[in-house]
Amino acid sequence: MHSLKDDIDYIQFCSSNSDLKTIKEKYVNTEIYEEVVHFLNWFYPEWKTRAGLGYWSPEFILDIIVENEQIFNNKDFERIDKLHHIYKYTSLAYLKSKENYKHVFKSWCLKKFYATKNDIVEYLSTENRKKMFKMFVNKVGKQVIYPL
């Protein structure tokens, strides 16, 4: 269930996240930023959702850019080689981060599920509780978190 507290948390995240501020101020209109986001949108469209990288997404994007900026700006490399490098790096980093983040997401879902549905859950069978939890995870997992 969506709540005003969720909206407030999201607004606070967007206004106070230093990585997000750095991306907005320094990188949002750069070629490297555009390539990283394009690649993620194409191959991992869930990356900016709560189930993708959630609130980790700004840090992830900034890390990718900082780690690859020198290579991307190097005039000695062909564009195709730069893109190949950054896409491969981004893919490997995403898969590793997603694996680590899935535990954070599941823990968050359990807390949120029992906090919002506690009055109903205790009366459900184990099977129905699992079904309800799965529906909850699917719903909140689709919420877009990365705002840029």
Question: Which helix or strand (DSSP H or E) is residue 124 part of?
Answer: none
Residues whose CB falls within 8 Å of the CB of residue 124, separated by 6 or more in sequence, listed in order: 132
pLDDT one-digit tens code per residue, 5-14: 565 566 666 6
For the chain, residues with pLDDT lower than 50 are 1, 4
What is the rounded end-to-end Cα distance, in angstroms, of the chain?
Answer: 24
Residue 148 contacts residue 23 (beta carbons within 8 Å) = yes
Supply the DSSP string of 42-71, one letter for each residue: HH-GGGGBTTTTGGGHHHHHHHHHHHHHHH
pTM of the prediction? Answer: 0.83
pLDDT one-digit tens code per residue, 46-59: 999 999 998 899 99
Find the angle CA(53)-CA(54)-CA(56) to the nearest 5 degrees.
70
